[in-house]
Chain A
Amino acid sequence: MTAIAVTDSSEPGLLTRAHWAVTDTLTITRRNLLVWLRVPAYIMFTVIQPVMFVLLFRYVFGGAIRVPDKGGYVNFLMPGIIAQTAAFATFGTAIALAQELQKGVIDRLRSMPMARSAVLAGRLVADTGRMLITTLIVIGVGYAVGFRFENGIVAAVAMVVLATVFGLAVCCISAYTGLAIGDEESVQAFGMVWLFPITFLSSAFVPIQSMPGWLQAFARNQPVTYVIDAMRALAGGGPVWPSLWKSIVWLAGILIVFAPLAVRAYKRAS
Chain B
Amino acid sequence: MAHSQSGGPAILVEGLVKSFGEVRALRGIDLSVPRGTVLGVLGPNGAGKTTAVRILTTLLRPDGGRALVEGRDVVREAAAVRRSIGLAGQSAAIQLELTGRENLEIIGRLYHLSWPRARSRAIELLRQFELTDAADRAAKNFSGGMQRRLDLAASLVGQPKVLFLDEPTTGLDPRSRLAMWDTIRSLVAGGTTLLLTTQYMDEADELADQIVVIDHGEVIAAGTAEELKGRVGGDIVEFTVPDRARVGDAVAAIATIGEGEPHADAETGVVSVGVGGQGSDALIEVVRGLDKADVQTHGLTLRRPSLDDVFLALTGHAAEEEEADQPAGRRGRRKAKSKAADKETARTAS
Q: Which residues of A contact B (CB under 8 A)?
A: 2-3, 6-7, 10-11, 20, 23-24, 27-28, 30-31, 34-35, 38-39, 103-105, 107-114, 118, 270
Contacts and interface: CB of A to CB of B under 8 A. Distances in A.
9 contacts: A3-B1, A20-B112, A107-B59, A107-B87, A111-B58, A112-B107, A113-B112, A114-B111, A118-B110
A31 B106 contact: yes
Q: Which of A3, A23, A107 has the most CB of B within 10 A?
A: A107
Given A103-B93, A108-B87, A113 B59 contact: no
Contacts of B87: 107-108, 111
Given A2-B2, A38-B138, A270-B59, 7 more contacts: A10-B80, A10-B83, A11-B80, A28-B110, A34-B102, A107-B54, A113-B112
A26 B158 CA distance: 19
Contact of A6 (B5, B54, B95, B138): B5
A111 B82 contact: yes
Interface of B: 1-2, 5, 54, 57-60, 77, 79-80, 82-83, 85, 87-95, 97-98, 102, 106-107, 109-112, 138, 154-155, 158
Contacts of B77: 7
A270 B21 CA distance: 14
Nearest to B94: A105
Given A35-B98, A104-B90, A111-B57, A11 B110 contact: no
Contact of B93 (A2, A105, A113, A114): A105
Contacts of B155: 108
Nearest to B86: A111
B80 A27 contact: no
A31 B95 contact: yes
B57 A2 contact: no
A59 B138 CA distance: 40
Contacts of B90: 104
B93 A108 contact: yes
Contact of B82 (A103, A112, A118): A112
A100 B2 CA distance: 38
Contact of B91 (A20, A28, A34, A103): A103
A6 B82 contact: no
Contacts of A114: 110-112
Contacts of B83: 10, 113
Contacts of B59: 107, 110-111, 270
A203 B95 CA distance: 39
A111 B111 contact: no
B1 A2 contact: yes
Contacts of B1: 2-3, 6
B100 to A, nearest CB: 14
A172 B30 CA distance: 41
A104 B91 contact: yes
A267 to B, nearest CB: 10
B92 A103 contact: yes
A2 B60 CA distance: 28
A118 B109 CA distance: 12
A2 B92 CA distance: 40
Nearest to A115: B110
A23 B115 CA distance: 12
Contacts of B110: 24, 27-28, 109, 112, 114, 118
A32 B107 CA distance: 13
Given A112-B110, A114-B111, A35 B79 contact: no
A105 B109 contact: no
7 smallest beta-carbon distances between A and B, as pairs:
A104-B93, A104-B89, A3-B1, A113-B82, A108-B93, A114-B110, A38-B97
Contact of A108 (B80, B89, B98, B102): B89
A30 B107 CA distance: 12
A10 B77 CA distance: 11
A26 to B, nearest CB: 9
A34 B97 CA distance: 8
Given A111-B59, A111-B87, A3 B138 contact: no
A70 B292 CA distance: 101
B58 to A, nearest CB: 6
Contacts of B58: 110-111
